[in-house]
Chains A and B, each alone.
Chain A
Amino acid sequence: MISNYRGIQAIYQFEMARFGRTFWTSLILPVITTALYFVVFGSAIGSRMSDVSTVPYGAFIVPGLMMLTMFTESINNASFGIYMPKWTGTIYEMLSAPMSPLELLIAYVGAAASKSVIVGSIIFATAHLFVDVEVAHPLLMVAFMILMAVTFCLFGFIIGIWAQSFEQLQVIPMLVVYPLTFLGGAFYSLEMLPKAWQTVTLFNPVVYLISGFRWTFFGQGDVAIEVSMGAVALFLVLCLGVIFWMFRTGYRLKN
């Protein structure tokens, strides 16, 4: 299944070079966004907020903020990466090259996930300028970050293949993922909600992802870490399944 390592390398480098061309904007944007969030939520509002079960509010929002940006970055980068060759027509070269679908996937998703992890790390570093954040389980936190980046890049890859216009490319990240993340406890704990809304919120799959990531920071989350892990695994398997089906049928790639 995997043997054309040079092909993977070629696409990976191509994609990273694409990010490199917008290196400073990609770097500065998350720094500014993080700073803005901390000014508004951390200082202005956060100072009036009580601790969320022993965690100061400023620190509490760090994992949520990282996830929010990483979700959208992952989806945007991965979907754009595969959509652009489709749009410009250069996809002909990938399809006619001796590359297996898995190799294409590794190259595109690998590159997009790398960028997401970099952006996530930048936010993490920037957050330290504003608040003290201690990570209870650093190894698990890194693993969770990578896993989330890969999973959402797979999701983005699916969107990129599915989309037939730039509008379709934007619609899922903007209208589905962003609100679900916002409502999924990126900036609050479910305990802050009325009982009825807590139940409703539990139907939001993003809750489990953010809660799991927060657990790696503070050793506590809205749901048990095992449930979060299960949710991540389920999402990952779901994405892989859809991609496997797309490749097998040639969906929107080959006539």
Chain B
Amino acid sequence: MQPVLSIFDLGKTYKSGHKALSGVSLDIAKGEIFALLGPNGAGKTTLISIVCGIVMPSEGAVSVAGHDHLRDYRAARAMIGLVPQELHTDAFETVLATVSFSRGLFGKPRDPDFIERLLRDLSLWDKRDAKIMELSGGMKRRVMIAKALSHEPEILFLDEPTAGVDVELRRDMWTMVRSLRERGVTIILTTHYIEEAEEMADRVGVISKGRLILVEEKHALIKKLGRKTLTLNLAEPMEAVPAELGEWRLELAGEGHELVYEFDSQAEATGVPSLLRRMSDLGIGFKDLNTKQSSLEDIFVGLVHNSQAEPPA
């Protein structure tokens, strides 16, 4: 199937000489939720800004449903809605006016019924005549989303959608993203909240220092890179890990009450059975044990850490 968004070898060097992006290639399928993860300054916003036409790329190409985003920018941009990271709003405009304005800007005919539904979905209808400057930060964020959705885009970019947002709005936002997906809208979100990517995304891309260092289906990613931790609650506390258990590189935790063993769950031999056998040979008893799958966050921190340890290309 033709991807709805195709990014090829995209690079951006700012006038200051700062290389924000290099060699980024990425295909997004229609209807998928893609999470772009990365630390601050990794190039997430630059990538989105290029696709949306706010920043000029230094090299590479972007195609939106087959439309080149520079040559055929009208068709490309008409399909895209953008919720930027910052709350850029016109303070003196009313909610209804600013959302209707956005729809017009994107060349769509007036549709008061649609705008009303949109504002109701985002719990903004009661505030439709309020000036934006009178709204709270969370409400402003909702207005930004309403503006981005006002022209019924097929691709929605959410740049750090839940940064500084309360629990209720975050939950609403996730509900909204899911219902948009049911309607076939493709969603690309950037975040540095891993839980968000884990909760919502089908695929995850990790960006670090302007390079896309990994793109993977979320579950495959967790499985592939997933490390597990085995924690043993000891019957008797110990002061140090016995030398006989040295090959497992165990760590002592909980003031000597716990032995922690980290292992690769995909490996042929995890080392767990042999560890337990050796412990029973040594007469080390334990009351309880549990294993924990590492989260995306652990994976992510590991990846970014590794990529930053490499010498710059």
Contacts and interface: CB of A to CB of B under 8 A. Distances in A.
Interface of A: 3-7, 9-11, 13-14, 17-18, 21, 88-90, 92-100, 250, 254-255
B105 A90 contact: no
A230 B157 CA distance: 50
A92 B90 CA distance: 12
B206 interface: no
Nearest to B15: A255
Contacts of B8: none
B120 interface: no
Contacts of B108: 6
A90 B106 contact: no
A174 B56 CA distance: 34
Nearest 8 CB-CB pairings of A with B: A10-B104, A89-B88, A98-B74, A96-B52, A98-B77, A4-B107, A97-B105, A98-B78
A97 B55 CA distance: 13
Contact of B54 (A6, A17, A92, A98): A92
Given A98-B78, A250-B56, A254-B55, A92 B106 contact: no
Contacts of B33: none
Contacts of B53: 95-96
B254 interface: no
23 contacts: A7-B104, A7-B107, A10-B103, A11-B105, A13-B104, A88-B88, A88-B89, A88-B91, A89-B86, A90-B90, A93-B102, A93-B147, A94-B105, A95-B54, A96-B77, A96-B82, A97-B105, A98-B73, A98-B74, A98-B76, A98-B78, A98-B106, A98-B107
Nearest to A249: B56
Nearest to A89: B88
Contacts of B73: 98
Given A3-B107, A98-B73, 8 more contacts: A10-B103, A88-B88, A88-B91, A92-B52, A93-B88, A99-B105, A250-B56, A255-B14
Nearest to B82: A96
Contacts of B90: 88, 90
B138 interface: no
Nearest to A94: B105
Nearest to B48: A96
SS of A interface (majority):
helix
B288 to A, nearest CB: 54
Given A96-B77, A98-B77, A7 B106 contact: yes
Contacts of A6: 104-105, 107-109
Contacts, number: 78
Q: Which of B14, B74, B108, B147 counts the most chain A CB atoms within 10 A?
A: B74
B84 interface: yes
B92 interface: yes
Contacts of A254: 54-56
Contacts of A21: 92
A124 to B, nearest CB: 30
Q: Which of B14, B78, B88, B92 counts the most chain A CB atoms within 10 A?
A: B88
Given A88-B89, A95-B53, A255-B55, A10 B74 contact: no
Contacts of B36: none
Q: Which of B76, B84, B101 counts the most chain A CB atoms within 10 A?
A: B101
Contacts of A95: 52-54
Interface string B62-90: 00000000000111111010101010111
Contacts of B15: 255
Contacts of A90: 88-90
A88 B108 CA distance: 25
Nearest to A9: B104
B136 to A, nearest CB: 18
A96 B89 contact: no
A22 to B, nearest CB: 10
Contacts of B147: 93
A100 B74 CA distance: 8
Given A92-B84, A95-B53, A98-B74, A7 B92 contact: no
Q: Which of A18, A21, A93 counts the most chain B CB atoms within 10 A?
A: A93
B88 A92 contact: yes
Nearest to B110: A6
Interface in B167-197: none
Nearest to B74: A98
A98 B64 CA distance: 13
A99 B174 CA distance: 31
